[in-house]
Chains A and B, each alone.
Chain A
Amino acid sequence: MRAGKFICIIIVIVILMLLPLVVRNPYYIHLLIMVGINAVLAMTFILMLRTGLISLGIAAFWGIGAYTSALLSENAGLPVWLCFPSAAIITGIVAIIVGAFLVKQGGFGFIIQTLAFGFIIVLIFGTFEVFGGHVGIVDIPRPEPILIPYVGSIEFSFISKTPYYYLMLFLVLLMTLTLTAFYTAWAGSAWRAIGLSAYLAESLGINLFRYRLLAFVIASTVAGLMGSFYAHYYVSLVPASFGPFKTIYVHVYAILGGINSPIMGPIIGSLIMTFVPEFLRVTEGVEPIFTGILIILLILFLPSGLLGLTRLWQGRGKPHEDAAQPSP
């Protein structure tokens, strides 16, 4: 990594860490926290897309993480800090079992079956009493206060959202680093090869099924962890919020930012999608209509997203280095 880029990232992180000192309005902090969650979800979408898997069930795995974590802390009485990793691991295990069936189909079958899976999960959450039925789960415990010697304790409460903000920032950074590590490792090269041409990759001895499953499981685990965070932040869950509409929004974040930038694209996309309607004072009922129009316009006129635009402008004439296209 170039030194300049590294310094840039450090500066951005420092600015993000100092942000709560400037932004006093808790509502904006709330929006920033949601931006973080949505950005990571969109990253998982791009991760799967790179291997040629178009998942319409991202929100389902997000929901599995959230519900697991909520049930673990409320019914089993597990400390919330232990719930985060255990929810992620349980989501990962579910993803391995489900993925073994779904990923094997690949292509078209995968799309349809993830869509179906998304609906089934919402139905299961809404039908069975264990998951609270249509009312959902309320009063999920918040994370226990962190005790720091001589300073006091950091309380997680709904009024002051700042501790949640830092927790979100930490999780987003951790997930970004994890995903970057995977992208730069051997798995990342294999994924990229699969994205460029599945047949070619297979002929080079890359086990298509295994690497796709790996991408699917990692993406789902990450989504599960964010779901767990969401559960303990929002403290109430309703099944409807994990339906396919959420997945559509996740796709919009990724595509608006640019699907060729697996980390920055989702962050920029979800920032814009969250704050622009806010500043334009669009009423809540109308906002999805504009989103729908925006998606169609994006696909028609700007399929490579905003970051694709800058890349086009910078490197005119240069060959696209990592234009990962799902295989035909």
Chain B
Amino acid sequence: MSVFIQLIVDGLAMGLVYVLLASGFNLIIGISRILFIAYGEFYMLGAWIIWGLMIPLKIPFFFALLVATLGPAVLGAIVYQLIFRYIQFKEQQLLTNIVAAMGLMLLMSQATLFIVGTESRGIPSVIRGIIDVGGVRISYEKVVLIALTLAVLIGLHVFLQKSKIGRSMRAVSFNPDVAALQGVNANLVYLGTVAVGCALAGFAGGLMAPVFAVSPKMGGVTLLIILVVMLGGVGSMPGAILSGLILGMTLSFGQYFLESGVAQIIFFVVIAVILFIRPGGLFGQAEQIPLQ
């Protein structure tokens, strides 16, 4: 029984990080309308910033986490301003967006491989100690991770629903032309959305870095994120939360009971079946997918 609870906590921790990543991706695809395949590389960047600041430079974790959040955000804004601004609404928009994002992914992942080599590095745990609740042993680290992630998710929700910027973001996602008529600078909103999305990716990467090893191949998580977003429905927050948690549980239970490769294959197949029955995902409509 205690193993069961242990697995649930593990799955919750992993799943919430996927929820964080999926929310960022959801923002970018739902508002800026870019299929941002390079997204995982920003996650990886966040993790490597943590490693670079903590191990050689000995900077405390929470300050490093701040840098790991802001760094990818700035880079995302630069990338948007230099590349995606020009191709976002061009003809053949889908193909050009995907190919440009893939070029960016290739560039970032290979540059990282070139700089840091192929090995993955570990970061010593920041918060030590274990809570023992009736035989269930949970590390403080996981508790902090879950708490921080939940706080950021709630903050994001409040930001989108209540703040002026958040409202203009939703307005642009609803209809860019009408939003522009109301005096919303659509271009700025797109830029800001990409930056916020990348910041979430960097933050997630930074949180995961001390828990798991940092590797130059972490960018491959993009596919899982895209599938989580598709499963939940593009643009749907509850969908992202639900499907992110499903993924976390699948991975945590799958790794315990099956080989990890088999668990992933089962997850992919289940998603494919669900998407075949409901092309828009669990909480979305197929017609709402903005990239057509």
Q: Are B279 and A109 closer than 8 Å at their CB atoms?
A: yes
Q: Are B289 and A108 closer than 8 Å at their CB atoms?
A: yes
The interface bits of chain A over 274-308 (1 if a CB of B lies within 8 angstroms of the residue's CB, else 0) are 00000000000110110111111011100100000
Which B residues touch A300, using CB under 8 A?
Answer: 83, 86-87, 100
Which A residues touch B113, using CB under 8 A?
Answer: 285
Q: Which of A24-32, A118-126, A142-150, A180-188 contacts B (4 or more CB under 8 A)?
A: A118-126
Which B residues touch A251, using CB under 8 A?
Answer: 99, 102
B6 contacts the other chain (CB 8 A): no
B230 contacts the other chain (CB 8 A): yes
Q: How far is the CB of B114 from chain A (nearest CB, A)?
A: 5
A325 contacts the other chain (CB 8 A): yes
A298 to B102, CA, bound (A): 12
Which A residues touch B261, using CB under 8 A?
Answer: 123, 126-127
- If over half of A's interface residues share one DSSP class (helix, strand or loop), that class is named, otherwise mixed; here it is helix
Which one of B114, B264, B289 contacts A285 once the chains associate, using CB atoms below 8 Å? B114
A124 to B264, CA, bound (A): 10
Task: Please indicate which of the listed interface residues A255, A292, A299, A326 has the most CB atoms of chain B within 10 Å of its own CB.
Answer: A299
Which one of A104, A108, A289, A291 contacts B292 once the chains associate, using CB atoms below 8 Å? A108
B150 contacts the other chain (CB 8 A): no
A101 to B276, CA, bound (A): 7
Tally chain A residues at the interface, Cβ within 8 Å. 42
Q: Are A123 and B264 closer than 8 Å at their CB atoms?
A: yes
Q: Are B99 and A299 closer than 8 Å at their CB atoms?
A: yes
Size band of the B side of the interface? 35 or more
Which one of B91, B106, B272, B276 contacts A292 once the chains associate, using CB atoms below 8 Å? B106
User: Beyond A299-B96, A303-B96, is A116–B259 a contact (Cβ under 8 Å)?
Assistant: no
Which A residues touch B223, using CB under 8 A?
Answer: 115-116, 119, 244
B140 contacts the other chain (CB 8 A): no
B271 contacts the other chain (CB 8 A): yes
A291 to B103, CA, bound (A): 7
Q: How far is the CB of A30 from chain B (nearest CB, A)?
A: 23
Q: Are B265 and A113 closer than 8 Å at their CB atoms?
A: no
Q: Are A116 and B114 closer than 8 Å at their CB atoms?
A: no
User: Beyond A248-B106, A303-B96, is A109–B275 a contact (Cβ under 8 Å)?
Assistant: yes
The interface bits of chain A over 314-328 (1 if a CB of B lies within 8 angstroms of the residue's CB, else 0) are 000000000001101
B174 contacts the other chain (CB 8 A): no
Q: How far is the CB of B245 from chain A (nearest CB, A)?
A: 20
User: Beyond A101-B272, A111-B94, A293-B107, is A127–B100 a contact (Cβ under 8 Å)?
Assistant: no
A226 contacts the other chain (CB 8 A): no
Q: Are A325 and B92 closer than 8 Å at their CB atoms?
A: yes
Q: Are B226 and A115 closer than 8 Å at their CB atoms?
A: yes
A56 to B226, CA, bound (A): 13
A105 contacts the other chain (CB 8 A): yes
The interface bits of chain A over 208-241 (1 if a CB of B lies within 8 angstroms of the residue's CB, else 0) are 0000000000000000000000000000000000
Q: Are A105 and B87 closer than 8 Å at their CB atoms?
A: no
Chain B contacts with A in 39-94, Cβ cutoff 8 A: 83, 86-87, 90-92, 94
A303 to B96, CA, bound (A): 8
13 A-B pairs whose Cβ atoms sit less than 8 Å apart in the complex: A105-B276, A108-B292, A119-B268, A120-B269, A127-B262, A248-B102, A248-B103, A248-B105, A289-B114, A294-B103, A295-B106, A296-B103, A300-B86
| A interface list, Cβ under 8 A from B | 49, 54, 56, 101, 104-105, 107-109, 111-113, 115-116, 119-120, 123-124, 126-127, 244-245, 248, 251, 255, 285-286, 288-289, 291-296, 298-300, 303, 325-326, 328
**Additional pairs, 16, CB under 8 Å, beyond known A255-B99, A292-B108, A303-B92:** A105-B279, A109-B230, A112-B227, A115-B223, A116-B271, A116-B272, A123-B264, A248-B103, A285-B114, A291-B106, A292-B106, A292-B111, A293-B103, A295-B99, A295-B103, A296-B83
